Structure 1
Amino acid sequence: MSAGELTPVTPRRAATVLLLRDGPDGQDTPQDAQGGDGEHSPDELDAPERRDMVPEPAEAPEGSETPPEGLRNAAGGARLAVYMLRRRASMAFAGGAYAYPGGSVDPRDERMVTWAGPSRAQWARRLGLDPSEATQAQAIVCAAVRETFEEAGVLLAGPTPHTVVADTTGDDWETDRAALVARDLSFAEFLDRRGLVLRSDLLGCWARWITPEFEPRRYDTWFFVAALPRGQRTRNASTEADRTVWIRPGDAADGYDRGELLMMPPTIATLRQLAAHGSVADALAAAADRDLTPVLAQARVENGELVLSWPGHDEFTKHIPGVTGGPSA
């Protein structure tokens, strides 16, 4: 982008969650996300302790689908599965693409909530924010938990710092979820009304991507990983999605490579990274050491072509011919 040619739109902060579970073929067993002592030292965010991560046999979640034909059992004996949804083709942003539950930070996500896990200041450091932005760090974490409940019906909160709710499928839960989506109810009010503690210790931060400066709709998005809590079931609760699926990361990446699944660069990049881990426990442990340097696309004119590149992700480099002008950063 040449200096002075365009004033980029300021990106909105957002959060998305890669819900994970283990199973014999990545399909059948939810992962227990309960455990932890609710108290953490300053160093625990970089080396989180998650105990009692024991899988239990269960049926596939109601409302979810099996992977598209031809995408199963391509990843050997890997157990790890990730929850994905396909955005409706009519959506203004990433229509028709497979993605994870997530969305923009609501200004009301900064309201104080009962909190378990690393402190807000610790989260600010982990998210790459200034230490003075502890309230903003809380908002990002709250957005991750809130959007996961809004779009997947999964809630990372419980009545105590040691537990998570076991079931969110009743009519009363659905009424609250709909009120959150409509912004008639803030997440802080929702948690307070139900006497719930937000379990920030069940989240691990995986990556941070910022929409390219040349895009008219931009987001500064943190990607989190979390285990599906015992007893809870995902469901397609989002009006923005027309399909949901539990699928192994390697299988989803293979579908993208064959042109069968549409995905944005951050989605396929995180899937390829997750495919290196065979279980939920492995992925959660790896999250503590993930580099959260923001990935921001760069644009330059080179030999009559517009070259778009994402640092560290050469597979997404694009060459668009027919552009005049000299090279620019």
Structure 2
Amino acid sequence: MSQAQTIAPASTVALLRDGADGIETLLLRRSEKLAFAPGRWVFPGGRLDPQDYALANGCEEAAARAGAARESQEECCQRPDPAAMVLLSRWTTPEGHARRFSTYIFAAPLAQVGEVVVDGEEIDSACWLGAGAALQQHRAGELDVMPPTMITLRLLDAHPTVAAFLQAAREALVPEVFPNLCRSEAGLVSMYPGDAGYAAGDPSLPGARHRAVLVDGEWIYLHEGVDAAYPPLVP
């Protein structure tokens, strides 16, 4: 089987509402029993299925929108409008993982926020959190997230309202991110194109730094000395 055949299309959506202290988003905690990302806090989402493609006339991005809405309904009983979703980025699971996904990350406002209900099996907890509060909890080691979630939270935290964020997101470039995940003496490093060590898979090589580094449970994003061809993933 080719490498391309082993990468499954998936999608996720950051559900948004305005709160007293800025933008709030709904985060779900994946069960510790799951094989992929156990115990991590994530946005609703999952692998695309034939039903999603049937609604999309063969267009993968449209299928991704349908899949994100379906997964949100299944995982937390919230139903965003696929047409209102704004595509933020697309991330591909690094090589070396048994299960790899090419994941569309969307953001969407909720016209009506209903009761959040999780199944207690795949998802064991859920909470609405301000983007800034979520980042603070992550820094304190209380919210275990992956780099795509951390970077999306930073994007949300840079704007005061949902409307302002979505307007900026519509005008922004949509990066396709292919991380190179390695270990260094300091811990895990997720390198991105433009990093001096990206091609060789060697985070110790001197030069530009375009990476997220896991330090004491916190992912720290670096963009230093990087060629202009590789803009930062966050402001």
Common fold: TM-score over 0.5: yes
Determine the structure 1 residue equivalent to 2:25.
82
2:12 to 16, 23, 33: 16
Over the aligned positions, Cα root-mean-square deviation in angstroms equals: 2.9
- Aligned pairs (5 A) from 1:1-329: 10-24=6-20, 78-112=21-55, 135-156=59-80, 199-230=81-112, 232-237=114-119, 239-298=121-180, 308-311=190-193, 313-316=210-213
Unmatched 5+ stretches in structure 1: 1-5, 25-77, 114-119, 121-133, 157-198, 319-329
1:150–1:238 CA contact under 8 A, matched in 2: no
Cα displacement string for residues 156-202 of structure 1 (whole angstroms, at most 9, x for unaligned residues): 3xxxxxxxxxxxxxxxxxxxxxxxxxxxxxxxxxxxxxxxxxx4321
Bigger-Rg structure (1/2):
1
What is the deviation of 1:308? 4.8
1:14–1:219 CA contact under 8 A, matched in 2: yes
Give me the whole-angstrom Cα distance separating, in 1, the residues matched to 2:183 and 2:37: 25
Give me the whole-angstrom Cα distance separating, in 2, the residues matched to 1:306 and 1:200: 35
What is the deviation of 1:300? 7.5
- Greater displacement, 305-314 / 224-233: 305-314
Give me the whole-angstrom Cα distance separating, in 2, the residues matched to 1:15 and 1:203: 11
TM-score computed with the length of structure 1 as normaliser: 0.54
What is the deviation of 1:284? 1.4
Determine the structure 1 residue equivalent to 2:219.
none
Give me the whole-angstrom Cα distance separating, in 2, the residues matched to 1:268 and 1:293: 15
Structure 2 residue identity aligned to 1:140? A
Give me the whole-angstrom Cα distance separating, in 2, the residues matched to 1:141 and 1:90: 27
Structure 2 residue identity aligned to 1:97? R
Give me the whole-angstrom Cα distance separating, in 2, the residues matched to 1:243 and 1:253: 18
What is the deviation of 1:256? 1.2
Percent identity, aligned pairs only, is: 34
Return structure 1 stretches of 4+ with deviation > 4 angstroms. Answer: 6-9, 299-303, 305-308
Determine the structure 2 residue equivalent to 1:65.
none
Cα displacement string for residues 240-275 of structure 1 (whole angstroms, at most 9, x for unaligned residues): 111101001111111111222111111111111111
TM-score computed with the length of structure 2 as normaliser: 0.74
**Number of residue equivalences:** 198
Q: Which of the pair has the greater relative contact order for Cα pairs under 8 Å at 6+ separation?
A: 1
Bigger fraction of residues in strand = 2
2:24–2:128 CA contact under 8 A, matched in 1: yes
Structure 2 residue identity aligned to 1:314? R
Structure 2 residue identity aligned to 1:14? A
1:9–1:216 CA contact under 8 A, matched in 2: no
What is the deviation of 1:224? 0.8
Determine the structure 1 residue equivalent to 2:227.
none
2:13–2:106 CA contact under 8 A, matched in 1: yes
3-state DSSP of counterpart to 1:288: helix
Structure 1 residue identity aligned to 2:90? R
What is the deviation of 1:7? 5.4
2:16–2:109 CA contact under 8 A, matched in 1: yes
2:78–2:113 CA contact under 8 A, matched in 1: no
Cα displacement string for residues 6-35 of structure 1 (whole angstroms, at most 9, x for unaligned residues): 9577211111010111122xxxxxxxxxxx
Determine the structure 2 residue equivalent to 1:53.
none
